[in-house]
Amino acid sequence: MTTRFFRAILAPAAMLSVAACAELDVANPNNPDIARALASPADVAKIAKSSVNTWFLASTYPEPYLMLQVTADAATANFGNFGMRFNNLEPRVAYNNNSAGGDAAATVRPWDDNFGALGAANDALRALASGIVIPGADGNAKTRAAGLFAQAGAMTNLALIFDRAFVVTEATDLAAAPSLVPYTVVRDSALKKWDELITLTQGKTWSWDGDVMPLSVPATAANINRIANTMAARTLMLSARTGTENAATNWARVLSYADKGITGTGLADINFGVIGDGVNVWYSELVGYGNLDNWTRVDQRLINRMAPNVPAKYAGTNVAPITTDLRLGTANLPCTGAGQPNACLTGVTTDFVYLATVIGDPARGIFMQSPYYHRRWRDVSYAVPDAAQSGRFIPYVIAAENDLMIAEALVRSNGDLGRAATLVNKTRVTRGGLAPVAANSAALLAAISYERDVELLNTNGLALFDARRLEQLQAGTFRQLPIPAKELETLALPIYTFGGP
């Protein structure tokens, strides 16, 4: 018996000696290996396509855009989320550039997300430059267009938001640490990339694959070209930090871009927006929260422009609007009680609605409250279940923005004022029911500013970009954001900020 068991013991010992070497090179089957992906044409194409999604989400995230709309007195809220509360204080305080604190994400998010989009786009463009061939007709051109789109778009965002940034492209050697450059240089780099995209798509007949970006129009080279022109015009026009810089903007160049943009070409106008997929990968959180009645409201400064009887600052009394602008209306009051404001909004179709209720703690500042609500994009906001947003149009740059850019560029570059008036009236008269604007510069500039305030709220969060160049900001409001403290800590640079007395 002992011998038998002795053998039995030897057997596992023998097994163990066979098992003496475990597999130590374990694969990671969960994520694509970088080297393998960059050698795979399909993967390179997907990296470029994905970077467009990263850019779009970064461009429509509540951080910083809800904060920027609030501090520009377009929207209002007193909740601490997204940096809305403390940058809505009056008098204005400096942006709290601290790597802790509730407002940190207001800069970290746009900084990191745009550099994330840039990083991925650069990888794809570098792979293309090194000779990878993407299968299918115009595979390389379509992929390059996607990479360029994200690259140019990310640089546009960085140029509009931050005082300084890094310019990193597919040609940048990351082994040598890049240096920070002022926003004007970032803007010019963005324009260069939009120009490359415009050249690449000029006269071409290919279309993007369906998984690049679910545009609300066919993703043809021609439409991409028009969107690129509009984006270039915005980049140039909105990057001005002051009235002086605004006056110095190359308006002829703005006009030249905008004229080839999503409107103004003589072709049918198009919107630049996406078809939502039910808050999966294509959605806009700016729209989602900006049109959510219990999160944000419309600043009465803007309402006052439409209904002068409403004070420009809320003082605790709800004032119903008296207005001729068809875009402002009143809910089926009262809107109080359970299940509201769904019931009181039934049948209401105006963009702006007087709800006669306010939200938030008045102790934080009554001026932060407002009984007015932006309803225009409610059906793609978090006021409806995520799934209900599926298949609906989500705005980013609507046709009116391009029309108003052309109009403003015409006025500021001594162009055709009659044409400018026609463009302004497209929304002013057709949607607003207001009297046509007179074809003189002063009237036009006022009407353009009005239309931009009313039409473009909660599309792409440009309110601060407009307000700073038109000198409409309250004293002490920052005109741009500092590099986030988290990044400055990483770079071992001193922390700084903007805004405040």
Partner 1 sequence: MVSAQSTMRTLRFAAGIVLLLSPIAAASAQSTVIRGTVTQLGSSAPIPATVAIQAMGLVAVASDQGRYTLQVPEGRARGQTVQLTARFIGYTPVTKTITLTAEPQTVNFELKSDPFRLTEVVTTGTADGQAANKLPFSVAVVNGDKLRDVPASSPIAALAGKVAGARIALGTGNPGATPAIRLRGSTSLGVGGSSPLIIVDGVITRFSLADIDAQDIESIEVLKGAAASAFYGSDAANGVLSIMTKRGKDLKDGQTRVSVRSEFGSSSVGNFVPLNEFHNFQLNADGSINQTPTGARPLDGIIADNVYPTSGDSRYRNQLKEWLGTGQFYSSNVQVGFRKGGTNLNSSFTTDHNAGVLPFRSGQFRQSARVNADQQISSKIDFGTSITYSLNQNDYDPTDSQGWFALLQAPPDISLTRPNGPTDPVEFNPVLPSWAANGRGNPLYGLKNSSLAVRRERLLGSANVRYKPTDWLRVEGSYGTDRSNTGNQAYNPKGFLNAGGLATDGSLGLNNGINVAENIQANVIASKIFFGDLKSTTRATYLLEKQSLDSVAASGSQFTVLGVPDLDAIDPLNNRVGSSNTSRNAQNYFISQAFDFKDKYVADFLVRRDASSLFGSATRWASFYRMSGSWRWNEDIKLPGIQEGRLRVSRGTAGLRPGFFDQYETYSVSQGLITKNQLGNPNLKPATQTENEYGLNVTFLDRFDAELVYADRKTEDAFLNIPLSLAQSGGFVTQVQNAATVGAQTWEFSLQSRLYDGKNVSYSAGVTGDRTRQQIDRLGRAPFRVNAGGQSQNVFFYKEGEALGIIYGKQWMRSLDQVTAQGLDVNLYTLNSDGYVVRKSEINTNAEKPIAVVTGGSDQTVIGDVNPDFSFGFTQNLRIKNLSVYALIDGVKGGDIYNFTKQWMYQDGRHGTQGQGSRPEGDRRPLAWYSGGLYDGLNANSHFVENGGYARLRELSVAYQFTPNLLRKIGISGLAQGFKLSVVGRNLLTWTDYTGFDPEATSGGDFNFRIDGFRYPNFRTFTAMVDVSF
Does position 33 bind partner 1 by CB under 8 A? yes
* Interface region with partner 1, contact rule CB under 8 A, candidates 171-179, 251-259, 396-404, 419-427: 171-179
Helix axes 221-238, 139-161, angle to 10 degrees: 20
**337 interacts with partner 1 by CB under 8 A:** yes
Binding mask 40-69 for partner 1 (x = CB under 8 A): ---x--xx-xx--xx---------------
In 10 A of CB 15, how many CB atoms? 10
Binding residue (CB under 8 A) for partner 1 from 316, 346, 347, 501: 316
Q: What is the DSSP letter of 265?
A: S
356: left (phi over 0), alpha (psi -120 to 50) or beta: left
Residue 228 Rama label (left phi>0; alpha psi -120 to 50; beta): alpha
- Collapsing DSSP to helix, strand or coil, 61 comes out as coil
Per CB under 8 A, 356 contacts partner 1: yes
Binders of partner 1 among 268-307, rule CB under 8 A? Answer: 278, 280-281, 292-294
Does position 210 bind partner 1 by CB under 8 A? no
Residue 224 CB, nearest approach to partner 1 (Å): 20
Phi and psi at residue 182, in whole multiples of 5°? -65, 160
Q: Is 19 in the site for partner 1 (CB under 8 A)?
A: yes
Distances (CA, A) of 432 to 95, 324, 327, 361, 460: 36, 8, 6, 33, 21
Considering the complex, what minimum distance in angstroms separates the CB of residue 454 from partner 1?
A: 25
Residue span 113-142 as binding mask against partner 1, x where in contact by CB under 8 A, dash where not: --xxxxxx-xx-------------------
> According to the binding rule CB under 8 A, does residue 370 interact with partner 1?
no
- Please tell me whether residue 15 binds partner 1 under the rule CB under 8 A: yes
387 forms part of the interface with partner 1 (CB under 8 A): yes
Q: Which helix (H) or strand (E) holds 395?
A: strand 393-397
Label residue 256 exposed, middle or buried (CB < 10 Å: 0-12, 13-18, 19+). Answer: middle
Rounded to an integer, what distance in angstroms lies between the CA atom of residue 394 and that of residue 399? 13
- Show the beta-strand stretches assigned E in 96-246: 164-166, 180-182
CB of 463 to partner 1, least distance (A): 22
Contact characters 70-99, partner 1, x per CB under 8 A: ---------xx----xx---------x-xx
Asked if residue 486 binds partner 1 (CB under 8 A), the reply is yes
Instruction: Name the residue nearer to partner 1 (CB basis): 147 or 261.
Output: 147
Q: For partner 1, which residue of 155, 197, 307, 383 counts as binding (CB under 8 A)? A: 383
Q: How many residues bind partner 1 (CB under 8 A)?
A: 102
User: What backbone torsions phi and psi does residue 76 show, to the nearest 5 degrees?
Assistant: -150, 150
CB 471 within 8 A of CB 243: yes
Give backbone dihedrals phi and psi of 158, rounded to 5 degrees, phi first: -65, -40
Considering only residues 18, 137, 171, 268, which one is a binding residue for partner 1 as defined by CB under 8 A? 18
Q: Closer to partner 1 at the Cβ: 247 or 343?
A: 343
- The residue within the footprint of partner 1, chosen from 248, 250, 361, 435 (CB under 8 A), is 361
Q: From the CB of 16, what's the least distance to partner 1, in Å?
A: 5
Here the tokens at position 391 are: 């298949």
173 binds partner 1 (CB under 8 A): no
- Residue number, 7 or 268, with CB nearest to partner 1: 7
Count of CB atoms within 10 A of residue 401's CB? 27
Q: Are residues 168 and 114 in contact, defined by beta-carbon separation less than 8 angstroms? A: no
